[in-house]
Amino acid sequence: MSNELRVIISGGGTGGHIFPAISIANAIRKKRPDAKIQFVGALGRMEMQRVPAAGYDIVGLPIMGFDRKNLLKNIKVLYYIWKSQRMARRIIRLFRPQVAVGVGGYASGPTLNTAAAMGIPCLIQEQNSYAGVTNKLLAKKAAKICVAYDGMERFFPADKIMKTGNPVRQNLIETSMSKDDAIKSFGLDPTKKTILLVGGSLGARTINESVLQHLDMVEQSGIQFIWQTGKYYSEEIARRMKGKELPMLKVTDFISDMGAAYKAADLVISRAGASSVSEFCLIGKPVILVPSPNVAEDHQTKNAMALVEKQAALYIKDADAPATLLATAIATVNDDAKLCSLSENVRKLALPNSAEIIADEVIKLAFEGGI
């Protein structure tokens, strides 16, 4: 295949959108090393740092979400949408893509709307079991819709849907580190059971409070903990932990090598973002899910229940977590039969090679028709 391949990938806002986007780009590059890939994100959002760090160019749009509490503020939002669409048109004219990929998030709206209006075939990737607003609006214009869950026909035209699963961070799957070495890399004891607590890239207040309110239980458990607090909460937690430091509690605001953290853990406590859920399936990791209540349409609870209904994860409601999460986690990590059952069941739900399958669809669309 000698034709040049030019792809725009748009979206972001959270790691749950950004990591799949970068995985898709990497898979395209692996299949077509000559491919030109341009990312389009939202100014001020985390993709503006994460995408360049992964080796790709990104342009930011001044796009933001609607304010449902203060309707007057939406006059400014409408202006930014108009401005973003004009910028998207200029970006597309200059870059001349044959295909546009949207992964959800603010920026994918104006980018894919404009691309579709200019006759460029579009593919959208929906990570969650409950479709996001942007992807629902884009569905009519998309040529292909890649999803991770069954039953997505209630959001999207059935003839466009392809169940591919969610692309995940490759370093999680490919880590060659042994479990003992992974535990030692956190300064912990390989002979002890280990629980990993993560609240996403920014952190999760409820998960953090579940630890802070039960430091005595941590100390007496005989278990060791790796606790990613999130950068947003790190200063407050450092202040509240002063003088209460525990040797079995490794506290960090951010974990750069999540492959090592997952490898070290016998059990994970996590929010139920779609990318995280897909990662647990692929690595077969026992997990207690505490869905965030602060997301659109309570989609994290729906993500969690897709696993819980198949005995592939445990679930604790956010409001109940401070009282019950730590005790449940300690009891679970000490139950080897339960850990084994959770691991076996979650692995059955894995959809491997998602990024490669989506990359194939992107390449196919690019050469079936473009500008």
Other CB atoms closer than 10 Å to residue 179's CB: what's the count?
14
Rg (CA), the chain: 21
Per-residue pLDDT of the chain (371 residues; tens, 9 = 90+): 458 899 999 998 877 789 899 999 999 999 999 999 999 999 998 899 999 999 999 999 998 876 667 667 778 888 999 999 999 999 999 999 999 999 998 899 999 999 999 999 999 999 988 888 889 999 999 999 999 988 999 999 999 999 999 998 777 777 788 999 999 999 999 999 999 999 865 558 899 999 999 999 999 999 999 999 988 888 888 899 888 889 999 999 888 888 999 999 999 999 998 889 999 999 999 999 999 988 877 889 999 999 999 999 999 999 999 999 999 999 999 999 999 999 999 999 999 899 999 999 999 999 985 44
Name the token pair of 66: 């609607």
pTM of the model as a whole? 0.84
Q: Give CA separation, 332 vs 141, 237, 305, 308, 336, in Å.
A: 46, 26, 18, 15, 8
Name the token pair of 44: 């001020």
Q: Give CA separation, 288 vs 216, 227, 266, 309, in Å.
A: 21, 14, 11, 13
Query: Which residue has tokens 């009282």?
Result: 323
Residue 185 near residue 176, CB atoms below 8 Å: no
- CB-count exposure of residue 308 (10 Å: 0-12, 13-18, 19+): middle
Distance CA 127, CA 303 (A): 10
Ramachandran angles phi, psi of 7, nearest 5°:
-130, 130
Smallest CA-to-CA distance from 176 within 113, 100, 260 is with 260
Per DSSP, 141 falls in state G
Instruction: Show Cβ contacts of residue 344 under 8 Å, excluding neighbours closer than 6 positions.
Output: 284
Distance CA 36, CA 366 (A): 12
Name the token pair of 21: 């986007």
**Coil, helix or strand for 34?**
coil
Distance CA 327, CA 239 (A): 24
